[in-house]
Structure 1
Amino acid sequence: MEKNPFDLPLELLFGMAGRINKKRGFLFVSKVLGKHIPVIPAVSLVSGALLGTRFLEAYYGQQVDTAPLVQGLMNQERSQEVFQQLMQKRFELPEQVLFIGFAETATGLGHSMFSCFQNNAYYIHTTREMIQDIQPSITFEEEHSHAVAHLMYPREDHLLSTDAPIVLVDDEITTGKTALNIIREIQKKYPRSHYIVASLLDWRSDEDCQRFRELQEELNITITNVSLVKGQIKVEGAPVEKNDNEEKSIVERTSSFPKIIQMDGAEWPRLSYTSMDSSDFPNQRPYLLQTGRFGMISSDQNLLNTYCEKTGIELGAYRSGKTLCMGTGEFMYIPMMIAAHMGDDVWYQSTTRSPIHPSEMEKYAVKNAFSFSSPDDPLVPNFCYNIPDNYYSDVFVFFERGTTGERLRSFYDVVNNLSIPNKYIVFFG
């Protein structure tokens, strides 16, 4: 281990699993991100803020009292208290800074990092959505991923056209190629002098770090790397091939059909954009304005906090006990914030595109897997993980946008057959 400035136990941050991917056969499964493993929602929000303090220290030399945030991770029952204190007094930025979160896994982390600053902060996340009403400003590829294309759709060009430093936020960096790819693309169209690459985990080798130094010299820029943990890894073995018998798509049980909850359009601002899937099927349901997909500023976050708190209190009234809240795909941060306001004994995770090999082995990070066709694009397999039998009383699944009943059927089959008595599907558009 090269750097661990907060002395965080590694087992607190991640577990290991086998990725079903010929390009990269392993996966660091985050225990604080809220993606594959359920977390107390405030834990994920606090981890983004702690990464924000690393940025302030490394880039601006600002010393921040990080003890409460570290305690919020180490003693996770205190995370909600720590998160509430942070929201009352967020950090200040001395200049404009643009934060960019990587889809789909780091959309929530990038937003969490952005949201801990009260001024001068801009946020946008990359997306795999193909939107017809607006042209992408940036496109680039994530070479090791099962879904390589990233696009950026800022509604206003000023998010990129200034000389403001850009903070690229990812949950984990193995080689750093994704960051280098987007830096090249941004620099071609919107040149600037400073980039910051922020991640929970940084596993770049000496050769990978050298590539960062070479790009700095080539483009005459400065790249600052910040993380909660920096180290190196040694990979042995071969990628895991897909085993269809290890995923559950439907488990035969008797259970009630999920209840549909439609959020009020007057309270949640929307954008009337149309997306197309890989078969050119159009979805004309509106997007939410403040997810970060189309860009947002610090004052937008203040309004979003209010919306999420109000909705969390309303949905909390439906609960009967231990509750699982699930975001879907790139739609992570808003469901996480809502879950943080739904009361105690609420856990959060998200569906994902990532195909992971499940196993009951001790200390293995993914115990079970459920597969279904993506409601946004039936040709794209989606998954959810680590949902034990007879563990939760309630589940709330959050969709940014609705779609046809036929396209939701595969996912409904999975949710309807989970051994959770009370099931709710929440649609925003």
Structure 2
Amino acid sequence: MADARDATGATSPTGVTSVTEATGETWSGQWVADRLGVALHGGPELRELLGLALRRNPKRAHLLVSKVLGKHVPQHPDTVYGAGYDLGRRVRALLGEEAAARAVVLGYAETATGLGHSVADGLGPATYLHSTRRPVDRVRPVGGFEEEHSHATSHLLLPEDPGLLAQDGPLVLVDDEFSTGTTVLNTIAALHAHHPREHYVVVALVDMRTAEHHERLHRFAAELGARVDLVALATGTVALPADVLEQGQRLVAEHEPAPTAPDATSAPRRGGRPSPVRVELGWPQGLPDGGRHGFTPAHRTRLEAALPGMAARIADALATGPAAAPRRVLVLGFEELMYAPLRLAQALDRATGAEVRYSTTTRSPVLAVDDPGYAIRTRLAFPAHDAPADGPGERYTYNVAPGTDPARRFDAVVAVVDSAADTPELHAPDGLLARLAAHTDRVLLAVIPSYVPGTAAADAASGTHPVTDRQAPPMAEPLRGPEFSSYAPEEVGWLLQDFSAVTLEAPTEEREEAIQHGGAHYAESLPVEYQPSEEYQALFRAALDASASRIARAVGTVTETVLAERSPRPVLVSLARAGTPVGVLMRRWARYAHGLDLPHYAISIVRGRGIDGAALRWLADRHDPADVVFVDGWTGKGAITRELAEAVREHPGFDPRIAVLADPGRCVDTYGTRDDFLVPSACLNSTVSGLISRTVLRADLVRPGQFHGAKFYRELAGADVSAHFLDTVSARFAEVAAEVAEDLKEADAADRTPTWEGWAAVERISEEYGIHDVNLVKPGVGETTRVLLRRVPWKILAARGAGADLDHIRLLAQQRGVPVEEVEGLPYSCVGLIHPRYTRGATGADGRTAAQPPGADPASGTTTEETAGNGGEAGNR
């Protein structure tokens, strides 16, 4: 028999003790009640749960402002989560254990996405889905509905499992308030027409229906032939005057401030406001960011396990810097992204001694009145930064600015968004981060990967193999340490696939022969990486000690040039992997010298095959391509410079010019120096590059639309000097600052036009020495060092009179039995040559085969050295 029942609570919900206002304190709905004649009828718990405000909406005049929802009013995260969780426990008691185990929970966007998720946790936990206003590529809606009174009416249902809503268990629908019931009943009717079920439960924080609406629910259930229950924390009604809409619009017009151009109170001042600091959460790969496509109990288990570590990273970032540890911290979620920020806020509250509060941004346009008797005291408006969802427009965050009450000020704000919303608009001068910075001492940004069903990350989480099972699009988010690379997660994001579990290595001599004879491309395999010997490590340490200040000076010069000439807030994109340490150092200089927190990514470029197009598309989706600055370590003959210029022609908006630490080849106009000296990172492979291999591009591993790949050599952690290299150079920043300033003055007066002098020299050498292949001529100290360490060298050309900069070259050449020939007119300090007629087993003067590096035993052929090529360019800078 069809039935409709109410199961409302009559007392304050579990966890809402902090909401009750002290005796004599003004109720936060009094201002509206006095001026508009709106009245709440019900128990005292209504005023504990609700305040009142005026909408800037022609369809409705008033807004019931929940104090426990975490949307408009910053609240303790346990209070917000506890309200939803308690409702879930009530639903579980109503359904019974067996039915609760089969229930699916559906929350409403945007307001109830976090509430519905908390209800699902309390219910079982149960599988959860929320409606969304964001269309998602490759995900077909299984339904949708309209919300008549809302300012943004269209809802989509986008479950990853199309059969989720077709199950026969109870369906639990969650909204923040149940006023007329129209939206919920329309949803039930639409779903029931396709997949009838016996039981529906409607859940809300407050049930504010009139007697007429109560009767409507009973009639609806009878017509439907199903049971419909309602569970709420509190019940009551709202009394409205007949002309409430007209009066409300009049009040809004009277109190809405006139629009003004951005001024010192709303736009950031240079040096006067905190620059946002990006915090890398270490979000588990493949874990959904919320319930947009479904969130299962297994997902919840993964999230629970990861929360303490993510909160610790936020806590560490809050404790770092010149400002005192914050006393009041707001974790600010983003529109539909409510649950993950809420749980992070809970975990942060446990990890720190700060007073933590939680709220989110919203699309709802509401009047702000700085009065204790009004629920929305202050409003910050900013451009939408989630373009796929309803396009441009204003968005808001309420009660974050302190207004006239300094006790309400937050010392720090942690803004949490998903990666689809990490757009240029978010970082714009009038964007959310800038608005927040005007009202707090510290702004942190934490970005959660936007989960999209069918991506490589989703496949990894589900156990589907992205290569063999489907043609998957690129991963939603870059890989970061410590899960991928030994770099700190904020230092660099790798736009790569993780091939650590794939066997790709082959002996150096076999690879050399195959590459030269056309049997394979160098990017299709990897040389074997060995633990560096003490001899190698000593060479690195000596080079680093001798050149750290020189490198720091070049880092400062190239970074300042980029900031002055390319973009005031560039997006650094290093060419993996040789460019990546340089990108990290440039990012550190920008923070040291200017307090800037620049995004930095590493992508793959492969000689003869171009740059990773999927990675460029990922960047273009999230950043302005005009802000992207490609970064590399040094130039040799300029092969990668030319490769990049050719590759980005298919990607409009990107500037193909590379910024490099050293430009001995005179191929670029943005550089730190044109001197040819040893950059110590050329001495080692993965152990100075975050333990990452050079990049891999192979058709059976990388399908169209996917990122290139690389491996993370965790087993070499004992020899890792990546952080040591970065820290040693960074420690010299202060001592070279004055020299950097002088370099910039000289650079302004110099003609920095590329002459390609190096390329001409390489072509000449290739012909003079009968090589006839410029790819086997490796110019410059760095490239020559890598030839001696990782390839099969033939001979070394050294500029006559070259001094101590080539001491290590002469030592390595002697160890390899490779002749060093001094020549005149060489534009580089030295050039390494690889003989085109390579024959495996050819022996050198010391009895080793040409393929054996120093430290190898000629008798056994066993080596203790690492012999892999560096970077996706295999030494062809």
Q: TM-score scaled by structure 2?
A: 0.41
Residue in 2 that maps onto 1:216 = 221
How far did residue 43 of structure 1 move?
0.7
How far did residue 240 of structure 1 move?
2.9
Distance 1:416 1:40 in 2: 19
How far did residue 185 of structure 1 move?
1.3
Residue in 2 that maps onto 1:297 = 296
Secondary structure of 2:82's aligned partner:
helix
Give structure 2 stretches of 5+ with no counterpart.
Answer: 1-6, 14-44, 319-324, 450-877
How far did residue 308 of structure 1 move?
2.3
Secondary structure of 1:133's aligned partner:
coil
For the Cα contact (< 8 Å) 1:142–1:178, is it kept in 2?
yes
Query: Which of the residues 395, 401, 418 maps onto 1:400?
Result: 418
Q: Does 1:411 align with 2:431?
A: yes
Residue in 2 that maps onto 1:240 = 249
Matches within 5 A, 1:24-423: 24-60=60-96, 94-119=100-125, 121-236=126-241, 237-238=244-245, 239-240=248-249, 243=253, 245=257, 251-252=265-266, 254-264=272-282, 267-270=283-286, 289-319=288-318, 320-321=325-326, 322-342=328-348, 343=352, 344-377=354-387, 379-387=392-400, 388=402, 391-401=409-419, 402-406=421-425, 408-409=427-428, 410-412=430-432, 414-423=434-443
Q: Which has the higher relative contact order, 1 or 2, with Cα contacts under 8 A spaced 6 or more apart? A: 1
Distance 1:318 1:14 in 2: 34
2:424 is matched by which residue type in structure 1?
A: G
Residue in 1 that maps onto 2:794 = none
Decide which moves more: 170-179 or 400-409: 400-409
How far did residue 200 of structure 1 move?
0.5
Q: How many residues are treated as equivalent by the alignment?
A: 378
Secondary structure of 2:239's aligned partner:
coil
1:384 is matched by which residue type in structure 2?
A: T
Distance 1:118 1:224 in 2: 18
Secondary structure of 2:237's aligned partner:
coil
How far did residue 3 of structure 1 move?
5.4
Seen in structure 2, the aligned counterparts of structure 1 residues 398 and 94 have a Cα distance that, compared at 3 Å, is closer
Distance 2:77 2:425 in 1: 31
Answer with 1 or 2: which has the greater Rg. 2
Secondary structure of 2:363's aligned partner:
coil
How far did residue 140 of structure 1 move?
0.4
Secondary structure of 2:444's aligned partner:
strand
How far did residue 4 of structure 1 move?
4.1
For the Cα contact (< 8 Å) 1:48–1:110, is it kept in 2?
yes
Secondary structure of 2:173's aligned partner:
strand
Distance 2:341 2:63 in 1: 24
After superposition, the CA RMSD in angstroms is 2.3
For the Cα contact (< 8 Å) 1:51–1:198, is it kept in 2?
yes
How far did residue 395 of structure 1 move?
0.7
How far did residue 93 of structure 1 move?
6.3
How far did residue 411 of structure 1 move?
2.0
For the Cα contact (< 8 Å) 2:437–2:443, is it kept in 1?
no
Distance 1:345 1:317 in 2: 16
How far did residue 292 of structure 1 move?
1.0
Distance 1:52 1:263 in 2: 28
**1:193-230 CA distances to partner (integer Å, 9 max, x unpaired)?**
21100000011111112221222122211110110111
Decide which moves more: 94-103 or 194-203: 94-103
Share of identical aligned residues, percent?
30
**1:385-405 CA distances to partner (integer Å, 9 max, x unpaired)?**
112155221111001114432
2:342 is matched by which residue type in structure 1?
A: M
Decide which moves more: 357-366 or 102-111: 357-366
Higher strand content, 1 or 2: 1
Distance 1:404 1:232 in 2: 42
Seen in structure 2, the aligned counterparts of structure 1 residues 7 and 415 have a Cα distance that, compared at 3 Å, is closer
How far did residue 138 of structure 1 move?
1.3
How far did residue 414 of structure 1 move?
4.1
How far did residue 7 of structure 1 move?
5.0
**1:159-198 CA distances to partner (integer Å, 9 max, x unpaired)?**
2111111000111111011101111111122221211000
Seen in structure 2, the aligned counterparts of structure 1 residues 175 and 412 have a Cα distance that, compared at 3 Å, is closer
For the Cα contact (< 8 Å) 2:334–2:417, is it kept in 1?
yes
Query: Which of the residues 437, 440, 447 maps onto 1:427?
Result: 447
Distance 1:269 1:99 in 2: 24
Distance 2:288 2:415 in 1: 19
2:284 is matched by which residue type in structure 1?
A: W
Q: TM-score scaled by structure 1?
A: 0.82
Decide which moves more: 297-306 or 99-108: 297-306
